[in-house]
């Protein structure tokens, strides 16, 4: 089992990334890869999180990719949903812990060890 500690330090790290993402919007196909810019990245214990505000066809999306580097595993969905809440994702229902909320897009890349969540702002 992989622990997830959500303390004041974790919240401060996430707030830093959100602030940067607000100042530097991501335009797919035009912007550099966000995961290559440490300002878009936060490490929460063993979870590597890359967050942007992605602008696509006149809409803005929260875009969060969570991976577990150096393993053959991808993140647990429940942990990912709790991390997403830190990044401002809304609508998570803790009574249905492993079900993605309505309006969230989720993609799991098992062969690349990551889980991606997207929600329109």
Tell whether 68 is covered by a domain.
Answer: yes
> Residue 2: pLDDT band by 50, 70, 90 thresholds?
low
Q: What is the total count of domains within the chain?
A: 1
Tell whether 94 is covered by a domain.
Answer: yes
Quote the Cα angle for 13-102-77, to 5°: 50
88 contacts 117 by C-beta, under 8 angstroms: no
The enclosing H or E element of 80 equals: helix 77-86
Tell whether 2 is covered by a domain.
Answer: no
**Region 11-17 average pLDDT:** 98
Tell whether 18 is covered by a domain.
Answer: yes
Rounded distance between C-alpha atoms, residue 56 and residue 72, angstroms:
31
pLDDT in tens, 66-104: 998 877 777 889 999 999 999 999 999 989 988 999 999
Q: What is the pTM of this model?
A: 0.94
Domain that holds residue 114: 8-120
Tell whether 35 is covered by a domain.
Answer: yes
Tell whether 51 is covered by a domain.
Answer: yes
């Amino acid at each position: 089992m992989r622990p997830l500690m959500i303390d004041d330090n974790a919240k401060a790290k996430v707030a830093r990334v959100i602030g940067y993402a607000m100042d530097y919007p991501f335009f797919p196909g035009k912007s550099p890869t966000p995961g290559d810019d440490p300002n878009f990245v936060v490490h929460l214990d063993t979870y590597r999180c890359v967050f942007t505000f992605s602008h696509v066809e006149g809409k803005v999306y929260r875009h969060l990719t969570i991976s577990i580097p150096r393993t053959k595993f991808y993140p647990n969905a429940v942990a990912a949903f709790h991390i997403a809440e830190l990044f401002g994702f809304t609508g998570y229902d803790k009574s249905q812990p492993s079900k993605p909320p309505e309006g969230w897009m989720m993609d799991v890349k098992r062969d690349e060890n990551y889980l991606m969540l997207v929600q329109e702002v």
